[in-house]
Each structure stands twice: as C-alpha cells, then as structure tokens.
Amino acid sequence: MKKLGFIALALFVHTAFAQTNRFVYQVTMKSDATNKNEVKTENAYLDISKDKSLFYSENRFKRDSIMQQNFQSGGGRGFNREQMQELRSNINYSVEKDRNNQKTLFKDRIGRDAYVYEEDRPLNWKISSETTNIGEYKVQKAETDFGGRQWTAWFTTDLPYQDGPYKFGGLPGLIVKVEDTQGDYSFDLMKNYKIPEIAALNQFGNTIKVKRTDFLKQQEKFKKDPVSFMTQSGGGGSSQTRVMGNGGIGAPRGSGGRGGNQNPADMKKREERLKDEAKKNSNPIELQ
C-alpha cells in the first residue's frame, strides 16, 4: 500500500508539472517617493511550467494580444487609443526563472530597447515556525533582505511549486503573499487556473544583454535625462550583447518604427511624459 501511495504521489507531481498553471497576483505599489498616498494596483501573471516560470503584467499581455491581432489582420483595423491607454502598465519588467539551470533573468525596457540581465544575488530566507491561513491555503512565514528592502513572505506547501512573484522563490512551497516592511510593495495571490503554455510576450526593437551593474547605470542615465538617452545612437553597458527580436546578433539601430518624421507637438508630449514617468518612479521596488 505504501508503494502504491508513493506511485500515486509521483504521478500527481508529474501531472502537475506536465501542464502550465497561471497564478494571478495583485501587485500594490507606492512608486513615487514624494507621494506615498498614491497607491497603484494592478494584476500580474506567474505562469509556471515544468521547466520554467514567467512573471509579467496582465495589462502587457492584453496589449500584446491586441497588437498581435492587429498585425495579423494587416494593421488595417488600427488601434483603439483609449483602450490601449487604459491597459498601460506600471509593471514594465518580466522575470523568467529557469528551473534546469537555476537562473533568474530580469528584463525591462529602458527607452527604446529591452535590457536583460541574470540576477546575481541569492535569496537567503529565514523560515519561521509561524503559520496562519490566507484564503484557502495554510501558509508559513519567511523573511529575507533583498534589493535594499526587508521582505516578509507567506508560502504554502499545498501546491507543488517552489516559486513566487517577481524574483522571489526558493522556499519549500509557492509564495502566496510577500510584502516589504515599509508597506511600499506587496504581491498577493488572487486565483489560479490552467493554461496551454507559458505566454510568449511580444518583443519590439532590440534586446540587450548586460550585467546587472550595467543595467543600473543605464537606468540611472535614463532617469536623469530620458529624452537625451532616447536620442543617443549608442547605449547599453560595457559588456552588452545586442540581440534582435528574431534572435540575430548585432541588430542595427533605427529599425522597428524609430525615427522618421514625427509631429513636433507629439514629440513634445512624449518628452514631457517620459520626464514625468521618470520622476514618479523615485521609489523603485529595489533600492540598491
């Protein structure tokens, strides 16, 4: 009987990992250090398959779907500007965790390009014996210091995943809730369901592979002068590798709808929006 029970458990785990599960988290953010009363909330997806997981914005997924449908129809239908505006996201990054090689890849857009780096800081958890219930799950407490913040997580062993939202993971179960002690950022599991496979996010322009330190340098340059950053022909860290959306190396800049004749009024609005967005991201999720 014990052997049969073990086989049944093994089959359950195999079946769980043979399909993709989507976990929907509510992300709460106070990204403007000058206005902590402004709380931004939106949903994000954590898609988990046998070999990897991907964390990204629900709004980005919806925008990508609309754009993809438009491209497939030849672009004749155009975009509903109001609808696309409503789907703008404060979560411009995505996080991919590769279970086979234990790597975490962080990708975020700076200006026109997407930058990707491999996370080089391990998560050192202190697991507490404290337990409670969150929704339908029995959860256990764990704490860690990461990115200049102290985080408290609650994980459950009811689900066979050692994963979580953002870069968090590595606990003996799925993270149901994680928040920093200042109350600036929190991720709360809302629901989950099955999907055919992990989403394939659209990638426009170039993807530049850099070290984390180079990414931070480029990010700081953009924050100081986003307009100048976007008009520069160079960019990227000292150890960058430029990869086209189709996988080619050494992609030339100037493609993918850049440049061209733009209305001066539209350019001015874009400049003002970039500067305003840079100012409002003065309290990022990672402080160091």
**Full DSSP string of 75-87:** T-S---HHHHHHT
Closest CA to 158 of 173, 148, 147: 173
Select the highest-mean-pLDDT range: 170-174, 234-238, 275-279.
170-174
Pairing mode, if any, of strands 113-118 and 20-29?
unpaired
pLDDT at residue number 254: 37
Beta bridge partners of 95: 55, 106
pLDDT at residue number 80: 67
Report the C-alpha gap between 273 and 288 in whole angstroms. Answer: 25
Query: CB neighbours of 282 closer than 8 A, spacing ≥ 6?
Result: 31, 32, 33, 34
How do residues 108-156 score in pLDDT, each as one tens digit?
Answer: 999 889 999 999 999 999 999 999 999 999 999 999 999 999 999 999 9
Residue 15 pLDDT exceeds 50? no
Give ∠ CA 159-160-164 in degrees, rounded to 5: 75
How do residues 46-56 score in pLDDT, each as one tens digit?
Answer: 999 999 999 99
CA dihedral 144, 146, 151, 153 (to 10 degrees): -60
How do residues 38-48 score in pLDDT, each as one tens digit?
Answer: 999 999 999 99
pLDDT band at 12 (very low <50, low <70, confident <90, very high): very low
If one compares 195 and 229, the residue with the highest pLDDT of the two is 195
pLDDT at residue number 195: 96
Helix, strand, or coil here: 96? strand
Read off the pLDDT of each residue in 206-215 and give the average, rounded to a whole number.
Answer: 95
pLDDT band at 187 (very low <50, low <70, confident <90, very high): very high
DSSP state of 249: B
Percent of the chain scoring above 70 in pLDDT: 76
Read off the pLDDT of each residue in 162-172 and give the average, rounded to a whole number.
Answer: 97
Percent of the chain scoring above 90 in pLDDT: 53
Beta bridge partners of 24: 45, 191
Residue 204 pLDDT exceeds 90? no
If one compares 280 and 200, the residue with the highest pLDDT of the two is 200
- 165-177 residues labelled b (16+ CB within 10 A) or e (exposed): bbbbbbbebbbbb
Residue 262 pLDDT exceeds 70? no
pLDDT at residue number 251: 34
How do residues 60-94 score in pLDDT, each as one tens digit?
Answer: 888 877 777 666 666 555 666 666 666 778 899 99
Average pLDDT, the chain: 82
pLDDT band at 173 (very low <50, low <70, confident <90, very high): very high
Greatest Cα pair distance, the chain, in angstroms, is: 76
pLDDT at residue number 252: 33
* 248 HSE (CA, 13 A, CB side): 7
pLDDT band at 226 (very low <50, low <70, confident <90, very high): confident
Report the C-alpha gap between 236 and 78 in whole angstroms. Answer: 32
Report the C-alpha gap between 268 and 204 in whole angstroms. Answer: 23
Residue 247 pLDDT exceeds 60? no
Tokens in use for 5?
């029970």
If one compares 203 and 99, the residue with the highest pLDDT of the two is 99
Give ∠ CA 96-101-107 in degrees, rounded to 5: 25
If one compares 186 and 269, the residue with the highest pLDDT of the two is 186
- Helix/strand/coil (H, E, C) string of 107-167? EEEECCEEEEEECCCCCCCEEEEEEEEECCEEEEEEEEEECCEEEEEEEECCCCCCCCCCC
Residue 284 pLDDT exceeds 70? yes
